[in-house]
Every structure is written in structure tokens, then in C-alpha cells.
Structure 1
């Protein structure tokens, strides 16, 4: 059996784009902002970066934590963030009734300088806008569905772009002087070529956060590597950016738990142990979850391959266990590299620049696609390429099947779309014509929607 015609591929490319473009624009915009999270958060925290001279006397970490806990009635310590410099305000994350609050404490006077809910921080809001549309798990499903169809859109777009004779003009560089539809077609095709590889990497590397695909990966991880264990990324709307300790500290993910009365005195011993280790900032120290349990510390660096997890003995301050990134499971390391790449932190400012250019390219790709569609859309029709290829193609069926296994929401939604088309849309004459589902009669004049693949 042969592959489907270019007209059929163009049709699926069109419908994928029609659904995806609003989400692509939204994800590209919010993702571009989140790329610069380290710089933005440093700017927000600038008033608290130099609150005390480096040589000035300061209170113990235990006193600092006590002041932070007292600032939020009924709260308990969740994490103590090791200051990057002696001049910084101390940041302590406390929890009360399932809500986490970040408290900025003056290290010398113990004055509370600022309190802010973890989920109310600007970049946490941007993160949730980007990953779940501020709609919790429902939004996560929607974003995952859009990402899955965007992958289909890019793959079908590459098939349509593939050179079929001629030179490099309109293939690797646009003919800017061409004008009209050719200009927009070149701009669309060439931009798609240059951004496709990085766009696919960003889409795939973002899927582990999604509610459905992340759970799918977790199940595969359990089957492939035994016990699921603790993972270093959140799934869906369950968790804050610093809640990677959530599996070891259930309350950090928002669950309530009983805390035994405890002393914060071990903190100073633990800090003395951790300082010489020179872990990548920020370093978070969390208390035991029960009697006899160890303290934990974690490098929560945005560049995830630099992260380290430790358990420590509160009485002596010594390190009990240490797990560096290289010691993690293969799937966890692969996801860690992907997440760091996705967030623009894997290879410094160059990673941010490449991601930003990719996001801008996706915006240009979306806008040019809309212009092409609007310019060629006939009156009284959606403008979808006509559905004339009804020949079964086993290579295409196998490819779609493999893609559906890799992207379950895509597979499920595809079945829904095909069933809706066959059982309903084709039975409504006006809808059938508007969607381009009616066969084209031999000898009939072609509408702009039924032009040959090379016309677009």
C-alpha cells in the first residue's frame, strides 16, 4: 500500500494547526517569560540581597527559623534555604493548613521582611499559566493535548516542506522580494524548517509535567526500573517548583500531617556540614518527617544535572547518604536533561537564547499559517484541503499507531475525531461541504481549498 497523498497530509496539517495555533502562541509567550526565571526572581529579591554587612553578627539558623514560623500562626518548618551570600535575607518556607509561605527574615535582627505564598510568587503563576492554564489538572490535560497535536502538526509540516526539486529558495531561506502568497508561504515553510528540531525537543521535554503523559511515564518507569521511587519533577498541578522533596515529605505537596515537637538547633550543625560541599544553589534543608528520621538537604539548581540529594544526621551533622545526578536512574537522568533544556538552564544563556528564538519562530510560524489560511479561504467554507484520498495506507496506519502509543491523548482524540466525522459530520450535507468532506466531482472547477499541494 502507498503512503497517503500530500493533499491528505496537508489536510491533517491544517486541522492540527487550526486547533493548536492559539495554544502554540500562548505557550510560546508564557514559556519565553519563564525562560528568564532566574533573572526575574533575582530582580524581585533585589531588596533582600544586601540587608546586612557580611561581617556583622547574626543570629543562629534555629532562631531565624523560629522567627519565620512565628510569622505564620500555626505553621511548621518545611524548608530552610541556605543563603547564597552572607548579606542576604534568610528565606524560610513554612506550611500551614496545606499552604506554603516563603518568609524573608533579617539574619541579624530576626525582623520579618516579607511573606509571600509559594503559589502566589510571580514565576509560579507564570509556570501554572504555561503548564495548566491556571485550571489545575483539567488545564494540564488541555495543554498536553495541544502539545501532542502540535507534534503532529510539525511532523506533517516537515513532510510538506520536504524539497521536491528546485533550488534552496523557499526551502532554507525565504524569497523576501516575492510578495503576496509566495512570501507568506516561504516565511511559513522556512521558519518551520529552522525551528522544527528544537520545537520538537521542547514539546517532548515538557510532557513529563503533564498530568496524563507524566503518569504514563511514571508507570513505564516503574515497569522498566522496578520501584517507582522519588522523582525530581511534578506531574500535573500537584506541587510547587520546590516540592521535589514531596515524596519524602508528604506535606510539602499540600497534604496535612502531624508534626512532632522538634528543635531547630540541628540546622546550624547541618549548615556547617553543607557549606564546604559547595552544592549548586539554591540549597534546601528539610526537617525529619518523624521521630528517628534524618534531615534532608537538596540542591534545587535550575540546571538539574547539577542537583544532589543528601540525608544528614541531626545530632552530629554528618552526611548519611549522598545521591548525585549521575547516580540516578537512566529515565530520571534523561528527564532531568530534558527539563533543564526546556527551562533554558542546561547550557547557560545560550540555552535561553536558543529557546527564545524557537519560541519567536513558533509565533511567526503560527501567524504566517493564519495569514495563509485567511488569504486562501473561500467564502462559505472553512478552507480545509479537500478530502479526496480514501485509499488505505498501511505505512501511514502503522506510523499513526506508533504515534498514538507514544502520545495517548493524541490517539484517543484521533479516535474521537474519526468517529465524529464518520457518524455525524458526513451525514450533514452543509457541514460536509463546509469542512471539505464531500468528494470533488470530475471536471469540476477547483476552489482555492482544493488546489494542488504545491500551491500553498
Structure 2
């Protein structure tokens, strides 16, 4: 066992690593568990909706009849999306809606019987998605998750700094754990070595998930605008509230198209609903495109606008889209490869993040990273509990004052610019630490905010 580390920079980094971990551990555990569930969305939904496959034989009803049945099952609704079935014998899924709310209806394509219906946001994997990204708390939950994600990046980077071998360290305890050197070294090595092996994967999962976040997502949309990609439809969620606004606008447009009259610049103009045979023609044409399923067919939302056909494949690089006229004429196709490189990069990142890019191997690699993160959290709590001095939080004591470093300032500023909520929360944390240490000395001493000139508490094992 080597002597405890006492360098000021080491102690300062360890202190911020401790505080980052103190805040992040509950969120990392939560995100790891919910993320692991969402990884296996294809398998879970295949099991949940197995009763609605192979329910019909030939002949099957026309799409317009099936859609009308689904709309009739939810009074006051209109057609939002018609989902092409994987097999002509499967129940057809139709999304109908009223405003921002959508209901998914399963219709037997032979008998027109409604087999099942559920509010889209109440489906199990949609609930898991919102638990994972928003804690079921909307924008505030998203902001909290985003802040935790930013601090997790700091925790991982500072952890790698603390792990970095110095003074000719051997491979034991650096690349693999020492399992028979006592419990103190066992937990230290489990924490350090696990952190090494999962850090790269964890950093990728965090970075690829940030486009969904509110603050960073808005920041990223500004980058899309500057680089000329804003014209394309964003192919990832901007949060439940933003998604609801998009659904509400689409619903209003569809209702205007299907109503007898619609207002236009203060004048009443007559708009005919799309012809009853339009959905039949569009679906027939969409089936010839052979897009990766599931494929959604959406009605026009403005006069003269085409029908939209979009692949919603779990593997986003396989997502293509098309515009089709009401008579079934193909207007144009946009392939994934036609999108701007930023949107393609995000598409690949999201696909890997969700475990969809390479199927089961992708899922298992992501699951291994998430299990590693859980192990990091558990080992950190064990280390903290074993080392904390009685009657204190157990935070590492600083050896201030540290010499000023422009490199450190530049690094912090770069992180704050890249992750706005990190910068905001860091500023609040520094102000709170300084204020509370002065105003409530006993709290500052308990939390480790008061500078001391000697090491206090139990030393770290290195």
C-alpha cells in the first residue's frame, strides 16, 4: 500500500469528484435502470403486442375502412397516422388524435373489429422513455436530468485524472482489480478499474443523449440553423411538451383540411376533405417503397400539401421518408444519406444510444456499460461509507490556496460553454459554498467547505 496522496491539485480534483458523485449517483442509478429497460424496447413490445399478430386471413379490408373504424372508436378524433403492418395478416395500428393527445388503435383488417386501444403516452415504453429523460416531470425533469448528465461527465473526467497511474504504478489496481488484498483495496480497485473500462462508453452514451435535453437540445438546434440544416425535420424528441405542441399543430391542420370551411386571412374559403380513396392510393404506393418498418402514413396538414410517408425504424440510419400525392403519385423521396452530416451524425449516435444500430450486440455492449455505471455507484457509496469521519459528510479537505491556472479556467469555461446547465450549476455551487461556509460555519465544517492546512479524516488509499 502506497502513502496517501497529498498534492494540492490531486486533493482539489478529488474534492470536486466527490461532490459531483454525491449529486450524480442517484441519477446515474435511475438512468442506468430505465435505460437498460428501454434498450430492449423491440423485444418487450414484440411480447406485449404478440396477440395482435396473425389475426386475419385473406381478403383484408381497404385502408380507408380500417382507418374509419379506428377514428370511430375514439369519438371526436381524426386520423393522424396509419401504420403499415409488417404482415397483411397482422392487426393494423392506427393513430388517431384530438389536439395533442393520440390514441393507438389495433384493428382487425378482415373483420374491422377493434382489438385494442391505448393512449400513446400511456404505452409502457413511452412511460419508460419519459421516466428516463424527464422523470415524468416535463421540462423541469429534463433540466434536472441534463444537469446530472453534465456533472456525470465531470465526475468521469475527474475520475480518470485520479486514476491516471503515477510513479511507475503496476498494472494491478490500474487495469485490473486486486481481489485478494483486503476489502479496502478491493472496493478501491473495483471503483477505479470499472471507471476506466466504462468511461469511454459512458461518455458516448451521455453525449449521444444530450440532443434530447431541453437546454442542450435548444443549443444544438441553433447550431443546426447556423449550418443550414434547420429546413429538415428534426428526427429526435425535443421533450414531451415540444412533441405535444407538434402533435397539436398537426391535428389542427388535419382538422382544417377535413372540415367544411377554414379561415384564411380573415376570409372564409371552402376546403374539401381528402377523397375517401386517397388513403387507399397512398398506402398502396407506400407499400411499393419497401421502407424499413414501422412505416407511418400521415394526411396532409395544409391545402395542396402531400401525404407524408416516414419510416420509424429503431435503427435511425435506415429511416427514409417520401411525399405522395392523393392519387398515389410519388412526389419525392428523401433517404437518410441525403440529410446533412449533422443530422446523420445524431442519427447514428441515437441509434447506438438506444441499442438499435447493430441489434443484440449493440444492446449487450450498452447493457455492460450501464451495469458498469451501477457498479461504479455502488462502490463509490461503499468507499464513502467506509472512509467518512464520524459526524461529517466526509468530503476531501482542500489544501487551498491553489496557484492560479489559466489552463484550468479555460477548461472550465469550455465545459460551461458546451454544457450551459453545467456552467450555471457550477456557478451556483461555488456561490453557495462560499456563502454557507461564512454564514453557517458548523455546516461548512461538516460539509468540508472550510479550508484547512492539514489533512483531516481518513486518508485515501492509493
**Structure 1 residue 425, shift from structure 2 partner:** 2.5
Quote the offset at 1:237 in angstroms. Answer: 1.9
Does residue 219 in structure 1 map to residue 222 in structure 2?
Answer: yes
Across the aligned residues of Structure 1 and Structure 2, the Cα RMSD in angstroms comes to 1.9
Pair 1:179–1:266, CA change in 2 (3 A): same
Q: Superposition pairs for residues 35-114 of structure 1, below 5 Å?
A: 35-53=39-57, 56-114=58-116
Match of 1:201 among 198, 201, 204: 204
Whole-angstrom distance in 2 between the partners of 1:139 and 1:254: 28
Aligned twin of 1:365: 376
Q: Which residue in 2 is equivalent to 1:314?
A: 326
| Native 8 Å contact 2:257 2:303 kept in 1 | no
Partner of 2:263: none
**Post-superposition offset of 1:277:** 2.0
Q: Is the 8 A contact 1:89 1:106 kept in 2?
A: yes
| In structure 2, C-alpha distance between the alignment counterparts of 1:239 and 1:75, rounded to whole Å | 21
- Within 1, Cα distance between the matches of 2:19 and 2:146? 17
Structure 2 distance, partners of 1:102, 1:154, is 41
The offset of 1:221, in angstroms, is 1.2
Residues 95 and 104 in structure 2, CA contact (< 8 A), matched pair in contact too:
yes
Pairing 1:29-428 to 2, within 5 Å after superposition: 29-53=33-57, 56-164=58-166, 165-225=168-228, 227-238=230-241, 251-252=249-250, 258-260=256-258, 261-315=273-327, 317-391=328-402, 392-428=404-440
Alpha-carbon distance between aligned partners in 2 of 1:321 and 1:94, rounded to the nearest angstrom: 26
SS of residue paired to 1:51 = coil
Counterparts in 2 of 1:166 and 1:98: CA distance versus 1, 3 Å: closer
Rate the CA distance shift 1:331–1:238 in 2: closer, same or farther, 3 A: farther
Question: Residue 124 of structure 1: CA displacement?
Answer: 0.2
C-alpha distance in 2, partners of 1:222/1:74? 37
Against the structure 1 CA distance between its residues 196 and 441, is the aligned structure 2 distance closer, same or farther, given a 3 Å change threshold? closer
Point out where structure 1 has 5 or more consecutive residues left out of the alignment.
Answer: none
Tell me the distance in 1 between the aligned counterparts of 2:383 and 2:220. 37
CA distance in 1, matches of 2:252, 2:378: 40
Q: Please give the secondary structure, in 1, of the residue aligned with 2:193.
A: helix
Work out the CA distance in 1 between the residues paired with 2:452 and 2:183: 28
CA distance in structure 2 between the aligned counterparts of 1:341 and 1:253, rounded to whole angstroms: 32
Out of 440, 443, 453, which is 2:452 matched to? 440
Query: Aligned partners of 1:236, 1:74: CA distance in 2, in Å?
Result: 26
Q: For 2:176, what is the secondary structure of its paired residue?
A: coil
In the alignment, the residues of structure 2 paired with residue 278 and residue 48 of structure 1 have an alpha-carbon distance, to the nearest angstrom, of 22
| Alpha-carbon spacing, 1:13–1:255, altered in 2? closer, same or farther (3 Å) | farther
Q: So what's the TM-score if we normalise by structure 2? A: 0.91
Conserved 8 A contact 1:90-1:107: yes
Classify the secondary structure of the residue corresponding to 1:79: strand
Mapped contact 1:98–1:255 kept (Cα < 8 A): no
CA contact (8 A) 2:257 2:300 kept: no
In the TM superposition, residue 87 of structure 1 has moved relative to its aligned partner by: 1.4
Q: Could you say if the C-alpha distance between residues 66 and 237 of structure 1 is closer, same or farther in structure 2, counting changes exceeding 3 Å?
A: same
Contact 1:341 1:351 in 2 (8 A): yes
> Would the aligned equivalents of 1:97 and 1:256 in 2 still touch at CA under 8 Å?
no
Structure 1 length normalisation: TM-score? Answer: 0.92
Report the CA distance between 1:220 and its aligned residue: 1.6
Say which of 10, 15, 34 aligns to 1:11: 15
| Greater Cα offset, 157-166 or 427-436 | 427-436
Q: CA separation in 1, counterparts of 2:60 and 2:444?
A: 75
SS at match of 1:238: helix
**For 2:275 and 2:74, how far apart are their aligned partners in 1?**
18
Partner Cα distance (2:253, 2:132) in 1: 24
